[in-house]
Structure 1
Amino acid sequence: METKRTNKDILVKGLKKMGISLVCMFLGPTLMYIAFSNQEKPLYIPLLILSILICGLAVYLAFMGLKTIMDSMFYKAPN
């Protein structure tokens, strides 16, 4: 008989990924706003590229975090 239990170690890893994703979800758009409001500055293009990368990282980490959390919940404990 297989018992399904939540693997707490994997769950913590997933929650950490979700936390980093949450930080990136706020940091990316904030940097993008700063870049667009200072278009005449020399760091406009690098800051814009960095903000787009951080936004993409936020989406990637959110999906990976959700996948990790789901894997932890449907973990099949060995007998």
Structure 2
Amino acid sequence: MKHTDKNLLMRGLKFLAGALPLSFIGPVVLFSSFKNQEHEWFIPILIFALLAMAAAVFLMFKGISTVMKALFD
């Protein structure tokens, strides 16, 4: 009978823990940047928000796949 790889499970949970704040920060900053379109920092803030949301999606995918690998491999 196979057992759960605890090191791999913890690594996956760390990925998910990193994705959690980014999943809130990204949309908040995106909304804020669209509220201030006339500001000179609009484009850099917009790019930061899009990168934060993309990183959140990537870390969620990586975290869930790592947790599944720890549980079922």
Query: How big is the shift at 1:74?
Result: 1.7
Runs of 4+ aligned residues of structure 1 deviating over 3 Å after TM superposition are none
Higher-helix-fraction structure: 2
Alignment partner, residue 16 of structure 2: 18
2:39 aligned with 1:60: no
Higher-strand-fraction structure: 1
Q: Where in structure 1 are there 5+ consecutive unaligned residues?
A: none
User: Which SS does the other structure have where 1:4 is aligned?
Assistant: coil
Count of paired positions = 73
Alignment partner, residue 72 of structure 2: 74
Q: Which has the greater radius of gyration?
A: 1
Give the alignment's TM-score, normalised by structure 1: 0.87
Alignment partner, residue 45 of structure 2: 47
Percent pairwise identity? 38
Query: How big is the shift at 1:4?
Result: 1.1
Query: How big is the shift at 1:52?
Result: 0.5
